[in-house]
Structures are given as C-alpha cells and as structure tokens.
C-alpha cells in the first residue's frame, strides 16, 4: 500500500475506494438479508420465530468476535488482500446456505458468511485511512459508509422480495453471485496495485504496524477496555447494538404478523430505516453545528425511541412507513456521534480501539437478537420493540450527560 504523499486522491485510489464501497455494501447486505425471511424460515424448518432468529444472532456473534482477528491480520498480510479473500469466503458460505436442508446447516452457512464478511467494513475504512490525505479522509470514508448504508437497505428489501417471489434459497443465490463478482473485481484491482508497486518501489510504504506493536495487540486491547472513558463508550456501543440493530431484526416479522403485510412489503418498510440514515448524511454537517454532540445523542435517541413505539403499536402501515424512515434518521444521529467518540478512546492505538468498538457493537447486536427472540413468546413483539425504543431514548440522555461531564459543559452549551 502506498502512503498518501499529496493533497490529491489519485484516480486509481478512487477506483479502489469505489470497489471497497461495493464490498461494504455486500457485507451489510449479508448481515440483514435474513431479517425479513425469518417467518418463512420458521415455517419451512418447523421451528419458532426465536429459533429461526438464530441465523441472525449466529452471524452477529461471529461477526463481532472476528473483528478482533482482522485488525492485526490486515496489518500483517495486507488489508486489501484480506478484504478480497473475505469476499470469496462469503461466497462459499452463501453457497452452503443455498443447499442447506436443515436449520443447523443454515447456521453453519451463516457462520461462514460472517467469518468472511467481518473484515470487509473495518478493513475498508482502515485502507482508506492509509491511502488518502488526512483532510480528505472524512469525504472518502463517506463513500464506504454509503455502501454500508445502501447494503442495509438492500438486505432488508431483497430478503423480503426474493423470499416472496422465489423462496428463501434465492436470497443466498443472489449473495453468492454478488460476493463472487465483488471478489473478482477486488482481486483484479489487487493485482493492479501490486504491479504498480513493483513499477514504482520507491513510492511503496506499507502502513502495517511494526512487529512489536502487533505483538502488543492484546496488551493494548486490555488497556483500552479497562480505561474509564473507553469503558463508557464500549458499554454504550453494546447497548446501542442490542436495542437498535439487534431488535431491528424482528421489525419485519412484527409488521408481517401484526399488520398482515407480505414479507416484501414488511421488508420494504424496514428498509426505509437505512434511507433515513442516508438522509441524515445529507444534513449531518448542519445538524452537528446546530446541536453539538450532546444534542445529537439526545435528539437521536428520543426520535428513535418514539418511532420504535409507533411501529410497535400502530395498526396502519401508512404510519409505520414514515416512522421507520425517521427512526433511521434518529439512529444515525446517535450512531455517528458515538463512532466519532470511539476514535478518541485511545489515540495511541486507534486501530485497535475502533476494532474493539466494532466488536462490542456487534456482540451487543447478537445479545439483542437473542433477548428479543426469547421475549417475543412471553410479552409479544410490540412490547419488545417499544421497550428497546425506551432504552435507546434513555441511553441518549445518559450519554449526553457523560459527554457533558467529560467536556465540562452542560446540555445547553455543548457544541461538537
């Protein structure tokens, strides 16, 4: 990999970033593709909705734990290389899912998909950080972030559409083809990068951490986890993952059963959540300047909480649709703020810190899926979704208070 040496981003780097956006799209799509098909999986395999939801929780648990592996692996073997072969690994896992004849085999397939896909998003962000000038970093990262958000939308939508139209297996046929195509493009670009580095060896300055630093990964991780500010951020990430992404997995099933919507319609409504996140990106600069970080987490948590309660109890899909869109807007107000604070947990070990943040976020998601699935039969999906919304709103207030204490400000004076 080359070190950025000028204020411009070359055409070849932009092309690589575009391909990485396709990779992050694919990874997030794989993560959410099962949400809308849960009722169908429960019917086909004659299991409860909670048991069917294991296809989401197994993916999330594996995805979260693997974050801790991919950071040092990417530094040692090359980030773009690991991303490339991770995409092919996801294709293999998707093919296993296509031919699964039991829920257990499908869980193995989801494990393989998560193991391959876990490194795509964080390593893509790290590669961009290595490859572009600092003042262009946020701009370039929005491109990979856009891929992730579009993947969230597509996963929710396609999971319902393909299941309704052709059956659940065709969702994984699509994923296998998608990852194969993306992996092929990435491999071609990787070979181009290697050829360019051979032609211009003087420009090659690999960004991998020195061996001593890699050897201290566990020590660094321990220091970050035990740090007082880091603990707060990681706990907030865990709770956020549980009550947002975790419970989001049952939204489509809830709308399908409560409102009698098709899986396609239910998935499309939940997909509006991702579009709300894209809408936030449009107004993010102005909102940050207007409300500051404390204001964003309070408003974002409250908006998500209110919309979750509306989705939980509304008898009309015409109300659920805009509520899903606005909930995504509120969620990303909160999420982008906590992401920014995660990069400040340990400036001396930023890569390790961000990997830990991602790990806790997705482990929280897995906990949320398991808890939501276990509570549905006891208290109903409406109570589960509404309860998650209330927790998210309270988390926003608490995190704003913590930020205020850390910054020495109050809620009315804080600016990012």
Domains of the chain: 13-212 (1.20.1250.20), 216-416 (1.20.1250.20)
313 band by pLDDT with thresholds 50, 70 and 90:
very high
Give the range among 76-85, 241-250, 407-416 with minimum mean pLDDT: 407-416
User: Is residue 249 predicted with pLDDT exceeding 90?
Assistant: no
For residues 181 and 159, what is the distance between their CA atoms, to the nearest angstrom? 19
Burial of 169 (0-12, 13-18, 19+ CB in 10 A): middle
407 band by pLDDT with thresholds 50, 70 and 90:
confident
Q: What is the pLDDT of residue 347?
A: 64
* Contact assessment for residue 270 and residue 159, using Cβ atoms and an 8 Å cutoff: no
Task: Name the residue with higher pLDDT: 35 or 72.
Answer: 35
Reduce the secondary structure of the chain to three states and give it as a string.
Answer: CECCCCCCCCHHHHHHHHHHHHHHHHHHHHHHCCCCCHHHHHHHCCCCHHHHCHHHHHHHHHHHHHHHHHHHHHHHHCHHHHHHHHHHHHHHHHHHHHCCCCHHHHHHHHHHHHHHHCCHHHHHHHHHHHHCCHHHHHHHHHHHHHHHHHHHHHHHHHHHHHHHHCCCHHHHHHHHHHHHHHHHHHHHHHHHHHHHHHHCHHHECCCCCCHHHHHCHHHHHHHHHHCHHHHHHHHHHHHHHHHHHHHHCCHHHHHHHHHCCCHHHHHHHHHHHHHHHHHHHHHHHHHHHHHHHHHHHHHHHHHHHHHHHHHHHCCCHHHHHHHHHHHHHHHHHHHHHHHHHHCCCCHHHHHHHHHHHHHHHHHHHHHHHHHHHHHHHHHCHHHHHHHHHHHHHHHHHHHHHHHHHHHCCCCCCCCC
Quote the distance between the C-alpha of residue 108 and its chain's center.
21
**Sign of the Cα pseudo-torsion (33, 35, 38, 40, in order):** negative
Average pLDDT over residues 249-256: 86
* Contact assessment for residue 225 and residue 356, using Cβ atoms and an 8 Å cutoff: yes
Q: What is the pLDDT of residue 409?
A: 55
* Contact assessment for residue 187 and residue 81, using Cβ atoms and an 8 Å cutoff: no
Average pLDDT over residues 137-164: 78
Q: What is the pLDDT of residue 5?
A: 47
Question: What percent of the chain is predicted at pLDDT more than 90?
Answer: 34
The neighbour count for residue 165, using CB atoms within 10 Å, is: 10
For residues 353 and 344, what is the distance between their CA atoms, to the nearest angstrom? 8
Task: Name the residue with higher pLDDT: 272 or 409.
Answer: 272
Average pLDDT over residues 196-218: 52
Beta bridge partners, 2, equal 204
Six-digit token string for 214: 């890699």
345-360 pLDDT, tens digit each: 776 666 667 777 877 8
107-135 pLDDT, tens digit each: 999 999 999 998 888 788 778 777 777 66
Which residues does 47 contact at the CB level (< 8 Å), separation at least 6? 41, 103
Six-digit token string for 57: 């929780």
Average pLDDT over residues 357-374: 80
Six-digit token string for 252: 């489509």
Give the range among 29-38, 74-83, 194-203, 228-237 with minimum mean pLDDT: 194-203
> What are phi and psi for residue 100, nearest 5 degrees?
-70, 130
What's the pTM value of the predicted model, to 2 decimals?
A: 0.72
* Contact assessment for residue 238 and residue 229, using Cβ atoms and an 8 Å cutoff: no
320-335 pLDDT, tens digit each: 999 999 999 999 889 8
Question: What percent of the chain is predicted at pLDDT more than 70?
Answer: 86
User: Is residue 45 predicted with pLDDT exceeding 80?
Assistant: yes
Q: What is the pLDDT of residue 413?
A: 45
């Amino acid at each position: 990999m080359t070190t950025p040496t000028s204020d411009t981003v070359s055409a070849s780097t932009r092309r690589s970033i575009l391909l990485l956006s396709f990779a992050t799209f694919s990874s997030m799509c794989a993560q959410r593709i099962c949400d809308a098909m849960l009722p169908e999986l429960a019917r086909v395999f004659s299991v409860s909705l909670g048991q069917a939801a294991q296809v989401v929780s197994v993916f999330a648990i594996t995805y979260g734990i693997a974050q801790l592996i991919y950071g040092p692996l990417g530094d040692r073997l090359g980030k773009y290389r690991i991303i490339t072969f991770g995409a092919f690994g996801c294709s293999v896992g998707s093919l296993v899912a296509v031919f699964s004849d039991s829920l257990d085999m499908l869980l193995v397939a989801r494990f393989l998909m998560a193991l391959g896909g876990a490194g795509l998003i964080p390593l893509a962000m790290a590669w961009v950080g290595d490859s572009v000038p600092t003042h262009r970093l946020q701009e370039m990262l929005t491109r990979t972030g856009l891929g992730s958000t579009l993947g969230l939308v597509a996963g929710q939508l396609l999971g319902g559409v393909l299941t309704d139209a052709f059956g659940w297996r065709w969702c994984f046929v699509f994923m296998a083809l998608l990852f194969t195509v993306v992996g092929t493009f990435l491999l071609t670009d990787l070979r181009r990068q290697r050829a360019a580095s051979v032609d211009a060896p003087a420009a090659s300055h690999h960004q991998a951490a020195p061996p001593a630093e890699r050897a201290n990964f566990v020590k660094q991780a321990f220091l970050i986890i035990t740090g007082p500010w880091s603990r707060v951020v990681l706990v907030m990430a865990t709770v956020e993952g549980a009550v947002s992404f975790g419970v989001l997995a049952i939204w489509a099933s809830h709308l399908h059963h409560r409102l009698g919507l098709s899986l396609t319609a239910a998935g499309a409504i939940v997909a509006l959540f991702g579009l709300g996140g894209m809408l936030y990106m449009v107004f993010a600069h102005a909102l940050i300047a207007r409300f500051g970080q404390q204001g964003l987490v309070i408003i974002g948590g409250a908006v998500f909480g209110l919309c979750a309660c509306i989705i939980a109890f509304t008898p009309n899909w015409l109300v659920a649709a805009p509520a899903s869109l606005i909930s995504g807007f509120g969620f990303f107000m909160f999420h982008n703020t906590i992401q920014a604070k995660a990069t400040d947990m340990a400036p001396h070990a930023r890569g390790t810190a961000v990997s830990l943040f991602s790990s806790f976020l997705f482990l929280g998601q897995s906990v949320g899926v398991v808890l939501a699935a276990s509570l549905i039969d006891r208290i109903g999906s409406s109570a589960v979704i509404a309860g998650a919304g209330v927790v998210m709103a309270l988390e926003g207030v608490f995190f704003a208070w913590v930020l205020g204490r850390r910054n020495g400000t109050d809620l009315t004076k804080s600016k990012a």
